[in-house]
Structure 1
Amino acid sequence: MLNSYKGYRMLLVHAHPDDETINNGSTMALYAALGAEVTLVTCTRGEEGEVLVPDLAHLAAHATDSLGDHRVQELAVAMKALGISDHRFLGGDTKKYRDSGMMGTEPNNRPDVFWQADLERASDDLVAIIDEVKPHVMITYDEIGGYGHPDHIQAHRVAMRASEKSHWDIEKIYWNVMPRSVIQEGIDAMKEVGSDFFGAEKAEDLPFAKDDSFVHAMVDGNAYVEQKMDAMRAHATQIEVDGPFFALSNNLGLQVWGNEYYTLVKGEKTEPFDSKGYEQDLFAGVDITR
């Protein structure tokens, strides 16, 4: 089975270091192990992220403002864990686009943040990568960036605009999706042990939980979920080992992170399908002879 996907190419477009692992870590590890060429493009260094490690609090934007450099290092370790060798920052410079912070905050107004970037110029940076890599499949966020973060929304806009402008025709484009039924299962499991998941009472309370009808594909990456967990641990400033992500794993099992879900927005839904009618292979139907 190894190298059975040789010649297949996948491009992922994410806003900050750690987004790729949470959303697509098992998918990335799976296809890389099977021989596909997997390229990750990260748009910012995540300078405005909250530092969850007390000993590293000095890295924060309001202190020494050196979190970005540290997160670049965390990302490199995470990519090694997932087996990904081709990783780039948008525009070829780790500092070209700065993290914009949450919507409505002061950083949004800085001229160097990703949210303020000219869409055509930023998408041109991605077009150059698309025309070089020639991906058969591209993965990014939906139109609200999953939960409304300005950098996620901008990454979506840049990715979709670049796909329109590029000389290379990407056959299949997917957006990340978290189905409500899966989130609700996690919330219920956490309640049983007297805990919660981001303080939510029900899945509808979480902005990133979407109706199951948006799910068109599910990648079973459970054989590579340990690599995903190692990559999550690598993002130590952003993901707490004893926080909700790992607590969910403890109460639902690692399968909650091994299965990753997608909405197909370009291309044809293609067999094989699982019992729910979801695609099982993101490359299904792709023509790699061109």
Structure 2
Amino acid sequence: MATLVTFHAHPDDECLRTAGVMRKAVEDGHRVVLVVATRGELGEVPEGFLAEGEELWERRVQESHAAAEILGVKRVEFLGYRDSGMMDEPTNEAPDCFWQADVEKAAEQLAVILREESADVLTVYDDNGDYGHPDHIQVHRVGLRAAELAGTARVFQGTFNREFMQRGFKDLVDQGLMPPEALPDNPENFEIGKPEAEITAAVDVSAYVSVKRAAMRAHPSQITEEMFMLAMSDEAFLLAFGTEWFIRAGQGPGITETDLMAGL
């Protein structure tokens, strides 16, 4: 048995980016640990969703534990930083937010967990945090440094395959799985994730998409039934979320790995 540690910025990020590889690792007999930098204090929540006196972060922590149970995660840890909000918002300046965290100090916090777990594999985000969110970029910086400090050699940077997403929009419309009006403006200029040529690992998680979707549903404060991830058909969801993409330094060119835990 090996140990996979997945490091994320906010509650629910794990479901969107690594739920498939997490469940796959569990099914393959490995231990999975989830570490979250913040409690997602600045997420948006529907009016009247929270109970009187309840703070959003309290609900999001509960949701993280519920999703973790669905995915088979054995340990959930929060580093205790505050949600920084979107890039260039005034909340980026809060002294206790993750964006302002000292990278070395935060990395040591994560490194302690990596050492305790004798982690074999760590997932973080790509250097732009998928789409430029400050907490996601900080996960990249802190995660890479923590791996150095703890001696965790196998580090995968979770990302999205930009060209796959661009092709996927057209495929979904062509197959009648998405109405044309749901397409983003100028999908050819869609710049979430990384170019396909930079990606070195593609993991087929199609066997786990139902679990992945169930884990998303465990975060109702952020992922409502009306959002496209849950509203789309099963066929569309499989096409959109049946593969998870990563970059591993020193691998490639091209996609050379299909299992984060291979050989462990």
Aligned pairs, how many?
Answer: 259
List aligned pairs for 1:114-125, cutoff 5 A: 114-125=98-109
Q: Is the 8 A contact 1:10 1:138 kept in 2?
A: yes
> Which of 186, 192, 208 pairs up with 1:201?
186
Q: What corresponds to 2:14 in structure 1?
A: 20
The Cα of 1:252 is off from its aligned counterpart by 2.4
Q: What corresponds to 2:155 in structure 1?
A: 173
Q: What corresponds to 1:135 in structure 2?
A: 119
Flag as ranges the 4+ runs of structure 1 deviating above 6 A: none
**Percent of counterpart pairs with the same letter?**
37
The Cα of 1:126 is off from its aligned counterpart by 0.8
The alignment partner of 1:146 has SS state of: helix
Q: 1:58 to 1:204 in 2, by over 3 A?
A: farther
Q: Is the 8 A contact 1:189 1:251 kept in 2?
A: no
The Cα of 1:249 is off from its aligned counterpart by 4.8
Question: What TM-score results when the alignment is normalised by the length of structure 1?
Answer: 0.82
The Cα of 1:57 is off from its aligned counterpart by 6.5
Alignment of 1:182 with 2:164, yes or no, is yes
Q: What corresponds to 2:257 in structure 1?
A: 279
Q: Is the 8 A contact 1:183 1:209 kept in 2?
A: no
The alignment partner of 2:18 has SS state of: helix
List aligned pairs for 1:72-91, cutoff 5 A: 72-90=61-79
Q: 1:102 to 1:191 in 2, by over 3 A?
A: same
Q: Is the 8 A contact 2:41 2:83 kept in 1?
A: yes
Alignment of 1:34 with 2:25, yes or no, is no
Deviations 1:237-270 (A, max 9, x none): 111222222345556242421211111125x56x
Q: Distance in 2 between matches of 1:253 and 1:150?
A: 28
- CA RMSD between the two structures: 2.2
Q: Distance in 2 between matches of 1:258 and 1:124?
A: 34
Question: What TM-score results when the alignment is normalised by the length of structure 2?
Answer: 0.90
Q: 1:106 to 1:132 in 2, by over 3 A?
A: same
Q: Is the 8 A contact 1:187 1:201 kept in 2?
A: no
Structure 2 unaligned segments of length 5 or more: list them: none
Q: Distance in 2 between matches of 1:146 and 1:58?
A: 33
Q: What corresponds to 2:130 in structure 1?
A: 146
Q: Distance in 1 between matches of 2:54 and 2:101?
A: 21
Q: Distance in 1 between matches of 2:55 and 2:237?
A: 35
Structure 1 unaligned segments of length 5 or more: list them: 1-6, 91-95, 270-275
The Cα of 1:17 is off from its aligned counterpart by 0.5
